[in-house]
Amino acid sequence: MKKITLFSLVILSVIFTQGFTELTILSPPQLKRWWDASPDLTTTSIAAFGYIPWGRKIIGRLQLANPLDACDYIKQTDNDYLQQPILVAMRGKCPFVTKAHYAQLAGAKMLIVVDDNYEQVAAHLMVDVMGQGESVSIPSVLMTRQGGEKLINSLESKDPAVNSISATFDFPLRQAKKVEYHVWLSSATPQSFKFLRQWQAYEQKLHDYATMVPHYAHFSAVGQEGDLQASKDCICKGKYCAPDPDEHRDNTGKDVLLEDLRQKCIIKLYNVDTWWKYVTHYDDFCLTGGRMQSCSENALSSMKINPDTIDKCVKDSFDTKNADTCNSNKFFDEEEKAMEKDGVFIFPSVIINGFAYRGNLIPSQGVFEAICESFTDMPKVCRRVLHRPDQERSHAPILVSALVFLVFFALFVFCCYRRYLKREMYKQMVRDVNIAVSQYIAFKETDTNDEEKGEI
């Protein structure tokens, strides 16, 4: 019954944390017209694995996978070969991550998987059920069957004016001046600590620019059939539960929850920097076996932190000071509200400015790039790591400065030219007056001479 509960939560996670892309058809014209007029039939959902170029676009030509299910090596002939195409495949017969692997081997820059049912793709999430998603370096999306069939029918046409499809995919992000990202973890999953181990170096780069908030996920068994309230994987009568971390050996879900609370207390009583030191030590020495509590006490003692102080904080978080008889825990109640707000029911996961990150968490370069792209004004550390010079940030200040300079320069030239014209006009006027005066004097003298001659 516990498995059913976890499965239900995964379904909920799909509904609340779906990521969408925008596919724009550039050509042919007839497909573009239908596509633009049918936005509800052409939605896509981003896979939870692979490299996603958040904040950027992918432009390319579409090509059908051969075989269409992309469950084997994809064949290409000289007639249908495209360099780095966007491959289109049908859902079914093999896991999503297998299709992505074969598409990647075929040189595709992206994979579109067409749903095999007429339904909203928001109800499904392409997940890595085989644990091989870390090796996928291209993005994958699930598309509605209505939109996918339009693509397939066009690509299968014999008319070159119809079967040549150009498209662009936009992977938008919510941008803000300040970025806050939530990292959802669980002490039950080594994957959480594996992500933190890789993420620590990136967090140090972003420390002065983006705010990291660690959170701890859990699920509830209240209202489920069976005697789950007495389960060793739950506390507070089944209100808070966690999966068994080591298959019923040394630790239980209850131990996981208490460890999560210890880490919450470290953040509350100290700071995130102290928490980083603790989880690093915990990753080194506590994930290889043994009791979580005793290993935690050793880690705290090595950091000169009194384990009793943390233990008191944990007990004080329960309404009855006891994990077995309690009715609620203030820390987990706060986390539950945060989970609902962020739409998180799977872990580890990352929420950036309220937006659910999709793609590989490991390697963590993709998460770093997504956070950098979430800034309206990207920090220098991001531009340096992403190899983007300062001048690429925005050309607007340069253009404005150049325009202002040109305006002032034009005014200066105009004023100078105006003064020059005035001076030339004055000189010309003086010359004209002198000529006129000279002519008048000459005329007067002639007239006088004529009069004198008449008198004689």
CB 193 within 8 A of CB 203: no
In CATH, what number does 179-390 get?
A: 3.40.30.10
Name, in order, each residue with C-beta under 8 angstroms of 20's C-beta and a sequence gap of 6 or more. 43, 44, 45, 46
Helix (H, G, I), strand (E, B) or coil at 315: helix
Fold entry, domain 19-170: Glucose Oxidase; domain 1 (3.50.30)
22-36: burial string, b at 16+ Cβ within 10 Å, e else: ebebeebeebbeebe
State how beta strands 22-27 and 86-90 pair: unpaired
- pTM (2 decimals)? 0.77
Give bridge partners of residue 235 from the DSSP assignment: 240
Q: Which residue has the tokens 């400065």?
A: 401
Residue type, 182: H
Taking only the tens of pLDDT, the chain with its 456 residues reads 333 333 333 333 333 344 455 899 999 999 999 999 999 999 999 999 999 999 999 999 999 999 999 999 998 765 555 678 999 999 999 999 999 999 999 999 999 999 999 988 877 778 887 778 889 999 999 999 999 999 999 999 999 899 999 999 999 888 999 999 999 999 988 899 999 999 999 999 999 999 999 999 998 887 665 554 457 899 998 999 998 887 767 889 999 999 999 999 999 999 999 999 999 988 888 877 678 999 999 999 999 999 999 999 999 999 999 998 899 999 999 999 999 999 887 789 999 999 999 999 999 999 999 999 999 999 999 999 888 776 444 455 666 777 777 877 778 777 777 777 777 676 666 666 666 656 656 655 565 555 555 544
Segment (H or E) for 201: helix 190-206
DSSP code at position 91: S
Residue type, 368: F
- Report domain extents, the chain: 19-170, 179-390, 393-423
